[in-house]
């Protein structure tokens, strides 16, 4: 259903209808920005740059994408492009110790949260941030986007079994880290 809608909207865009592009932006900009920002330890500004570049790539390759595959896995394609952008970005020096939560929230939502909620958010962000990269990617896609293991596998270019293993290890690592942190507190 979503895959069909992606094809319809991308076809509309290729045929010159800007509404098709607007729908794609509405559907994908937040999830992609969320993924990129968390992968960059809360650096929203750099996440936005990557998402912008990814959409430009989409506009430039739209016709080719439609012609290439009968089944268009647009979400997986976009995540792969963003992921490559994140990997490139990570080769540059990252994170100078700023408060990741404040960087990520762009000043707006954080003001609405209680200090207890902020504390919990920081705690989970830290847990996720400490995960090895692939485990972090898998857990973000699985939890935030409710992606199936096959789709995650397509994005990360690994088998379904490997995704299952990544998710299981991510959960184990987070659990262990959370317990250790709580004991320290």
Partner 1 sequence: MNIDELLDDLPRVEASAAFKQDLMDQIPHSNIGHSNAGIMNKLTPIVMAASLACGLFLGLTDMDILNTALGGLGLAVDDTVIAGEWASSVSPYATTFDVL
Residue ranges that bind partner 1, judged by CB under 8 A: 13-18, 21-22, 25-26, 29-30, 33-34, 37-38, 44, 47-48, 51-52, 55-56, 59-60, 62, 101, 104-106, 108-109, 117, 120-121, 123-125, 127-128, 139, 143-144, 171, 174-175, 178-179
82-86's contacts with Cβ under 8 Å and 24+ in sequence apart are 82/32, 82/35, 82/36, 82/50, 82/51, 82/54, 83/39, 83/137, 83/155, 83/156, 85/36, 85/50, 85/53, 85/54, 86/36, 86/39, 86/40, 86/50
In the complex, minimum distance from the CB of residue 176 to partner 1, in angstroms, rounded to a whole number: 10
Shortest Cβ distance from residue 171 to partner 1 (Å)?
Answer: 5
Contact in structure between 33 and 116 (CB atoms under 8 Å): no
Between residues 128 and 152, which has the closer beta carbon with respect to partner 1?
128
Beta carbon of residue 60, minimum distance to partner 1 (angstroms, whole number)? 7
Q: How far is the CB of 75 from partner 1 (least distance, A)?
A: 15
């Amino acid at each position: 259903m979503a895959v069909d809608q992606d094809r319809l909207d991308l076809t509309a865009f290729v045929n010159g209808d800007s509404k098709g592009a607007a729908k794609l932006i509405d559907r994908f900009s937040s999830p992609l920005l969320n993924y990129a920002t968390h992968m960059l330890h809360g650096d929203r500004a750099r996440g936005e740059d990557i998402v912008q570049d990814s959409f430009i790539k989409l506009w430039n390759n739209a016709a080719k994408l439609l012609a290439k595959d009968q089944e268009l896995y647009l979400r997986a394609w976009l995540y792969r492009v963003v992921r490559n952008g994140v990997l490139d970005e990570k080769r540059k020096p990252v994170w100078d110790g700023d408060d990741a939560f404040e960087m990520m929230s762009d000043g707006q939502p954080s003001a609405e949260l209680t200090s207890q909620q902020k504390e919990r958010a920081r705690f989970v962000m830290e847990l996720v941030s400490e995960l090895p990269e692939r485990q972090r990617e898998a857990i973000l896609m699985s939890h935030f986007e409710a992606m199936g293991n096959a789709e995650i596998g397509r994005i990360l270019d690994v088998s379904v079994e490997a995704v299952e293993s990544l998710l299981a290890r991510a959960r184990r690592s987070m659990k262990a880290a959370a317990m250790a942190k709580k004991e320290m507190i």
